[in-house]
Amino acid sequence: MSAILDIAGLKIGVPEGPLVVDDVSLSVQAGEVVAVVGESGSGKTMVARSILGLLPPGLVRGEGAIRFKGESIEAAPWKRMRALRGGEIGMVFQEPMVSLNPAIRIGRQMEEGLAIHRPKMGREERRCLCADMLRRVGIEDAERCLMAFPHEFSGGMRQRVMIAMALACRPKLLIADEPTTALDSLTQREVLDLMVGLTREMGTAVLLITHDLGVVARYSQRCVVLEKGKLVEAGATAQIIGNPQHPYTQRLIDAIPRPEPHGGDQATGAPILAVENIAVSFTRRGGLFGRSSQMQALKGVSLEVRPGETVAVVGGSGSGKTTLGRTILQLVKPSGGGIAFRGEPLLTADRAALHRFRMNCQLISQDPYSSLDPRMRVGAIVEEALRLLPALSPAEKQARVTDALAEVGLSGYERRFPHQLSGGQRQRVAIARALIREPALVIADEPISALDMTIQKQILDLLGQLQRQRGFSCLFISHDLAAVRQIASRVIVMQEGLIVEQGETEAVFGRPRHPYTRALMEASPALALSSRTLDFAEASTR
C-alpha cells in the first residue's frame, strides 16, 4: 500500500533564525488515522499548515520533502497547490468560532469549494450535495442551515459544518488541526466520532493534530510525538501509549490525571458554604424586534462545601456550572434561593458581612492570559490582595508576597510582567494571588483547561499540595472528568441548570446512576485512557 502523505526531514523556521520544526518525518497510509501529538510550541500545527503551503507570514519551509500520493508537492506550482487545497486535501481548523466567514451564508461557503474543484457540477446538484453532507454530519435542518450565517450556530455545530465542508469534495486526506479542543467533552466526542466515522466510510486518511492523548488513544492507529519541533517517538498508538520509550512521552502519559484514594479523610463539621435552592435567570433580547426572553441558567441548585474538602462541579457547556461559581461569588444576582457562608446568609448581608466573605473567598479563573493585568508586575498583582490589610507594614507585605510566590514555585519573579510568563506560570501567579489572603474557600473555574497536559498535571498537583498544607475548601468547576477524579472528594454533576447527580467521587465514577453522568464519563477520553494505562501498569507489575 502506497502512502497518501509522506513527509521526510521537514524543517520549518524563521528565515536565518531558529527552527520551529526540525527534521520531522511521518507518513499516512490510505484510510488511516495518524495523530501528531505535542504541547504548545511543539510545531505540530506548523507541520500541518506547511503541507498545504499555508504557513503564517514570517515562517518558511526549509529542507525536507512532502509527497502526496507519490507527487512531490513541497515546491508545487501555485496552480497545482490550489487544486490540491480543498480538492485532494481537506482541512479542519481548531477554532470553529473564527474559522467560518461571518459575512457569508454557510451554503455559499460550502459551495465555494465545490465550485472550484468540481466545476462540471451544476448549481442545483452542488446544493443537494451540500445539504446531504450537512445531514451526514448530523444537522437535521440542512436546508435552513445552508441559508444561515455562522453566528447562528454553536461551536459544536460550526465544527460539524467545517467537517461537512472539508469532506464535501471527497478529499483523499483530511488534516484536522485540534478540531475539538475548543468544545466541551460531550460535543468533542460526538464531533470526533462523526469525523472518524465519515472519513472511514469515504476512505479518507486523516492527519489528526492534537495535544490530547485520550483523543490519540481513542481514534488513531499510529502516532507521532513532537517536542519543541523535534520528533521524539513514532509508532503504533497502542505501543506508544502502553509502553512509551522516550522520557518526554513518558512525562506526557504520566500527566494524565489518575484517581487518588480520598478515603478516610471525610470532611466533617458545619459546612463553610451552603447554597440552597438558588435560581438564576438571564434576560435575552430576541433579535432586533423580537421579545426579550428569560433564560433559566440555574433552576434551583443546592450544595454544601465542608471545611477542607474539594467539591467538583462538572457538566458540559451550558450546564450552568460557571454561573453557579459566579453566583456564589456574588457576581451574579440570583432570582431566588439562599447562600450562606459560615452560617451567615449572604444575599441579605450588610456591607461588613459581605466584606468578610470577600476576604475569605477567592477566585481562580480559567484564562490565565486575561485574568492578570498586563501592565502590573507579578509582585504587584499578588500584593494587591493585601492592600485591604492596613495592619501590615510594607516590609511584611513584601515578605508575604515573596513567600506566596515561593510556594507556587515562582521565587524571584516579582519584577516580571505577565506577558513574560508561560500559561502555566501565569496560572501559578493567579493561585498565589488567590491564596495570599489565606482564604477559607477557593472557587476555581476551569483552572487548567487552557493549559498543556504536562502543565495541567503540575497545576493540579500544586493545588492539591497547597490544599493539604493550608486546609482551605475548594469548589472546583471543570469539564475535565479525569482531573476531577484526581482532585475532588465529592462530585456534583450539572445539566441544564440542575444537579442531576452528586456524591463521593469514587461512588459517582464507579457507579454513575444518571444517564448524563454516564454520557459524560464515556465522552472523556482521558478518563478512559487513565484506566487503560492503569490496567497496563498493573499488568506489567504482575
Partner 1 sequence: MGRYLLGRLLTTIPTLLLVSFSVFVLIRLVPGDPIVLMLGDAADAETVRGIREAYGLEEPIYVQFGLWLLKAISGDLGHSISNGAAVAPLILDRFQVSASIVLIAVLVAASISVPLGMIAAWRQNSLTDILVVGGATLLLSLPSFWLGLLLLLLFGLKLGWVPVVGYVSFAENWQGALTYILLPTVTLILIEIGVVTRMARASTVEVLRLEYITHARAKGVSEASVLMRHALPNAFAPTWTLLGLVLGNLLGGIAVVETVFTLPGLGRLLVDAIFARDYPIIQGCMLFTAFLYVIVNLLVDLCYPLFDPRVMAE
In the stretch 131-160, what mask flags binding to partner 1 with x, by CB under 8 A?
------------------x-xx--------
| Min CB(41)–partner 1 separation in Å | 19
- Cα 248 to Cα 80, 230, 252, 432: the distances in Å are 38, 11, 6, 28
d(CA 505, CA 485): 6
d(CA 49, CA 74): 12
Which residue number, 49 or 218, has a Cβ lying nearer to partner 1? 49
Q: Does 74 bind partner 1 (CB under 8 A)?
A: no
- Stretch touching partner 1 by CB under 8 A, among 90-98, 269-277, 314-322, 383-391: 90-98
- Stretch touching partner 1 by CB under 8 A, among 12-20, 46-54, 62-70, 370-378: 46-54
Burial 25-62 (b: 16+ CB within 10 A, else e): ebbbeebbbbbbbbbeebbbbbbbbbbbbebeeebebb
**Which three three-digit cell numbers place residue 389?**
490589610
- Cα 485 to Cα 30, 101, 260, 367, 480: the distances in Å are 38, 39, 7, 22, 9
Q: Does 236 bind partner 1 (CB under 8 A)?
A: no
Q: How far is CA 415 from the centre of its chain?
A: 30
Q: Does 18 bind partner 1 (CB under 8 A)?
A: no
Applying CB under 8 A, among 23, 74, 112, 276 the residue interacting with partner 1 is 112
For residue 141, how many C-alpha atoms fall within 13 Å in the half-sphere facing its CB? 6
| Min CB(100)–partner 1 separation in Å | 6
- Stretch touching partner 1 by CB under 8 A, among 27-35, 62-70, 98-106, 329-337: 98-106
Q: Are 296 and 279 in contact (CB under 8 A)?
A: yes
Q: Which residue has the cell 434576560?
A: 283
Which residue number, 191 or 442, has a Cβ lying nearer to partner 1? 191
| Min CB(108)–partner 1 separation in Å | 9
Q: Does 54 bind partner 1 (CB under 8 A)?
A: yes
Q: Does 52 bind partner 1 (CB under 8 A)?
A: yes
Q: Does 93 bind partner 1 (CB under 8 A)?
A: yes
**Which three three-digit cell numbers place residue 106?**
454557510
- Binding to partner 1 (CB under 8 A) within 309-348 occurs at none
Binding-site residue total for partner 1 (CB under 8 A)? 35
Listed residue (98, 200, 188) closest to 480, CA to CA: 188
| Min CB(326)–partner 1 separation in Å | 23
Which residue number, 83 or 331, has a Cβ lying nearer to partner 1? 83
Q: Are 232 and 246 in contact (CB under 8 A)?
A: yes
Q: Does 84 bind partner 1 (CB under 8 A)?
A: yes
d(CA 238, CA 223): 9
Q: What angle do CA 261, 266, 272 make, to 5 degrees?
A: 125
| Min CB(229)–partner 1 separation in Å | 21
Applying CB under 8 A, among 85, 126, 321, 433 the residue interacting with partner 1 is 85
Contacts of 97 (CB under 8 A, 6+ apart): 155, 158, 182
- Stretch touching partner 1 by CB under 8 A, among 17-25, 89-97, 335-343, 469-477: 89-97
Q: Which residue has the cell 522520557?
A: 247
Q: Does 428 bind partner 1 (CB under 8 A)?
A: no
| Min CB(92)–partner 1 separation in Å | 9
Q: Does 15 bind partner 1 (CB under 8 A)?
A: no
Residue 392: other Cβ atoms inside 10 A: 14
**Which three three-digit cell numbers place residue 410?**
515562582
| Min CB(319)–partner 1 separation in Å | 24
Residue 194: other Cβ atoms inside 10 A: 17
Applying CB under 8 A, among 95, 367, 414, 522 the residue interacting with partner 1 is 95
| Min CB(331)–partner 1 separation in Å | 24
Q: Does 127 bind partner 1 (CB under 8 A)?
A: no
- Binding to partner 1 (CB under 8 A) within 270-309 occurs at 285, 287-289
| Min CB(494)–partner 1 separation in Å | 28
**Which three three-digit cell numbers place residue 536?**
497496563
Residues that bind partner 1 (CB under 8 A): 49, 52, 54, 57, 82-87, 90-91, 93-95, 98-104, 112-113, 116-117, 149, 151-152, 162, 165, 285, 287-289
